[in-house]
Structure 1
Amino acid sequence: MANVVRDVFFSLLQSGLWNRAIELSGSFPLNNEQWREVFIMSSNHTVEAIVFDGLNQLPVEYFPPKNLLLEWTVKVDRIERRNLWMNKIISQQAKFFKNLTIQPLLLKGQGIASTYINPLHRVCGDIDWYLQNKKDYDAVNRKLSNLGVEITFTAGFSCSYSWNQCEVEHHKKIFDIHNPFSYGFLRKIEKEEFNKKQELTIEGETVFLPSPLLTFVQINAHILKHLLSFGIGMRQLCDSARICYVYKDLFDGGKLKAVYKRLGILKWIELLHVLLVKFIGLPKEYLPFPMQEDKNADWMMEEILTAGNFGFYDSRVNLEKERADNVRVDSVSRLKSNFLKYIPYAPMEAIFFPVTQFYSKFVH
């Protein structure tokens, strides 16, 4: 990939994410092939609508060719429509839970989208709910089964089902932390933060979000989980940056740092912070605690760029076979490679991630 394409991608991404003017450089204007690469890169990282917002900050003479601009516009329109549709689904489900006198927490997705300048431009995959105790988890699933909804239990102490053709997941665990020696500490933190949960109105219904501190741990642990498996997209980094920006004064940064340290992931978080500032454009004063200036995280960004969203665009593997068979290829070698990359920065997570994923397949 040519450097000019990468430079333009990050310039447009930062412009769209923060509503900043673009500093025009020698990278502009792009030719048609370069614009196509920027579009593909944006799509592979599910940030095409954010990059599109940045594109609209350019002078008209620097725009992509008309056919690509039309294709891009249509794709953004689909993203907006899907988000509006998903908001209706969340509203329906909020009523369903209210009738059961259960208040789950909405994780990731539309809750995090609310921290964006234009929430409709954040690509959302499915709907994730955290049921805070086994009684509620079982009661909701039992009610769904009685209604004829087919539930599939998945690794990670979760289950999934389709609600009006929308994929929904229920989770027994709020955090993707795999070190079993941390579970007691996590329960303690969750209990301390319980009354700090946030409220969000979606389509006239109130939904509940984790507290800002719990959101940081939940979102960033989720990023680490996917880096330990097959990869993550730029969208998840944007999520992390936006919560830094919006939640800046809503929690204790020192406490959050202590939590990361207790979980054994602080060294990795410090790398993540470098990425958020250097590549995503987060002003460093919005980090929850001061950045370690001497950290080099370029290698991690290279890995993220190569693998693409959840590793679905990793050119190092046989993608045709993976898509044809709908199954991951070269799983063992990919997991081993990621284990070696991240064990210096999050050793307990690297060790226990595969163990927990295997074990949780048999526990519903």
Structure 2
Amino acid sequence: MMYLTTYHYSLLSLLREYLQSEKSELTVARKEIKFGREGWQNLYNLSSKHGVASMVFEMLNISERASQLELEFIPENNSKVNSDNINNDTLLVKYGLIDIETNIPPADLLTKWKIDTQNSEDIYKKDVDIIKELLAFFRINDIDALIINGVGFGQMFVHPSHRHYGDVDIFLGSEYTRGNKLLGKLGMNIEVVNQNYSTFKFRGVTVRNHKCFYFHQFRHRIFTKQDKRVDKQLMKFLESGYDTVSVDDIEVKTPNPEFMLLYLTRHLVLHFLEYGIYLRHLCDINLLIERNRDSIDFAKMEKIFKKCHILKLFTSFISICKTHLGLNLDLNLKEDKDLTQRILNDMFFNKYRLIDKGKFKKMRALGRYFFRISYLFSSKWKYDHIQRGLFLRMLPYKLLF
């Protein structure tokens, strides 16, 4: 068992303050954080890996002064160098020419952080443009498309562009087949994975069309009774109505909060099994609950989670949110504290997730296969906490694919 370091706690503290500012829409004063170059680099690496770099950068409250160049050097007769006799705005400190603890990152790392944040904003704007164009196309053809997660959900954030965005998910329901044909006629290269799920590239972004909610984006897995139960329940939630949000002056249909709580939890469970979870996932659930606590029947959701065999994991996810991200939620749920600690440990210290991507790509096919199988067996405990015997049922399929 490994333990969280100062960098982990600093990251969690900054995220907690960020989410607090999102909830209150007020400026939250952060506790001063001071690191040397290595410390700032570790904090940056952690935030980037977990998809929360833009959120953390926002909470650093970097002033314009931090980017200005001030040529102030240490006098030649000053042989001792410490934080007492060096101004934090000097050239030496800003550019990491000397390694002391400062309350802002070195200039080169700060610049990289700014660029990453700008890239995040550009990705958001691109996704918004794609959504607007696709929704307009579907409306012209009398298809009532529903945006799942993505920029629609991002409107819960005061700064939607700070959130991490991936592929665009669109629910077409009974119009799934017709929607694919129309997109094909438009010139899109549609990859029909199966009768319920297809993908295509649009302006460099992967768009996924869904007929149901079997989470086909997690490929190479066996679909279980839990998938059917979750899909059936999500469909019921849709029957009770939709929400609409304004995205760049257009109205976008999105699922209701109870749908999103089940959807995000199921998505998080599958991510937990296949790849592990990231802080960005927990931030989403945290803010969803804080924004919509009066619209969610938690007693009903508890029964649904239990029926779908995900209540135990949901309880641990919520516990992490309450302890480390400041979630204010009082539910009488029986928590497995050992499981919660193990999930937290897996999130930060899983050795299979810490491998360098470049090194992994350089592996031969056989090496990557054995690496993946080793990761699978190391994750057996995750499957066991969902349903007894699930791992053994999944194993033959995983070994083949």
Same fold (TM over 0.5): yes
* Aligned mates of 2:41, 2:156 — CA distance in 1: 29
1:18-57 per-position Cα deviation (integer Å, ceiling 9, x unaligned)? 2243344xxx421011101100111111110011122118
1:301 corresponds to: 344
Match 1:273 to one of 314, 318, 325: 318
1:66 aligns with 2:107: yes
1:50 corresponds to: 55
1:72-113 per-position Cα deviation (integer Å, ceiling 9, x unaligned)? 112111211221121111011110111121122211211221
- Structure 1 gaps of 5+ residues are none
Q: 2:315–2:335: 8 Å Cα contact kept in structure 1?
A: no
1:116 aligns with 2:121: no
1:280-334 per-position Cα deviation (integer Å, ceiling 9, x unaligned)? 221234xxx33546634121011112359xx7xx23x574343347986522222
- Structure 2 gaps of 5+ residues are 22-27, 67-101, 217-222
SS across alignment from 1:284: coil
Match 2:40 to one of 28, 35, 38: 35
1:167-191 per-position Cα deviation (integer Å, ceiling 9, x unaligned)? 2111233254943266267425523
* Aligned mates of 1:184, 1:122 — CA distance in 2: 29
1:145 corresponds to: 184
2:117 corresponds to: 76
| TM-superposed deviation, 1:154 | 4.1
Higher relative contact order (CA 8 A, sep 6+): 1
Q: 2:12–2:325: 8 Å Cα contact kept in structure 1?
A: yes
2:83 corresponds to: none
Count, aligned residues: 347
Q: 1:105–1:130: 8 Å Cα contact kept in structure 2?
A: yes
2:73 corresponds to: none
SS across alignment from 1:300: helix
* Aligned mates of 1:153, 1:237 — CA distance in 2: 31
* Aligned mates of 1:184, 1:39 — CA distance in 2: 40
Match 1:99 to one of 135, 140, 146: 140
Structure 2 vs 1, CA of residues 72 and 205 (structure 1 numbering), >3 Å: closer, same or farther?
same
2:69 corresponds to: none
Match 1:247 to one of 292, 316, 325: 292
Matches within 5 A, 1:1-12: 3-12=5-14
SS across alignment from 1:249: helix
Match 2:304 to one of 250, 253, 259: 259
1:145-175 per-position Cα deviation (integer Å, ceiling 9, x unaligned)? 1222112244895221111222211123325
1:161 aligns with 2:200: yes
TM-score, normalised relative to structure 2? 0.77
Task: Out of 191-200 and 38-47, give the one that drifted further.
Answer: 191-200
Point out the structure with max Rg over C-alpha.
2
1:197 corresponds to: 242
Q: 1:113–1:122: 8 Å Cα contact kept in structure 2?
A: yes
* Aligned mates of 2:49, 2:356 — CA distance in 1: 16
* Aligned mates of 2:113, 2:239 — CA distance in 1: 42
State the identity %: 22
Structure 2 vs 1, CA of residues 72 and 290 (structure 1 numbering), >3 Å: closer, same or farther?
same
Across the aligned residues of Structure 1 and Structure 2, the Cα RMSD in angstroms comes to 3.2
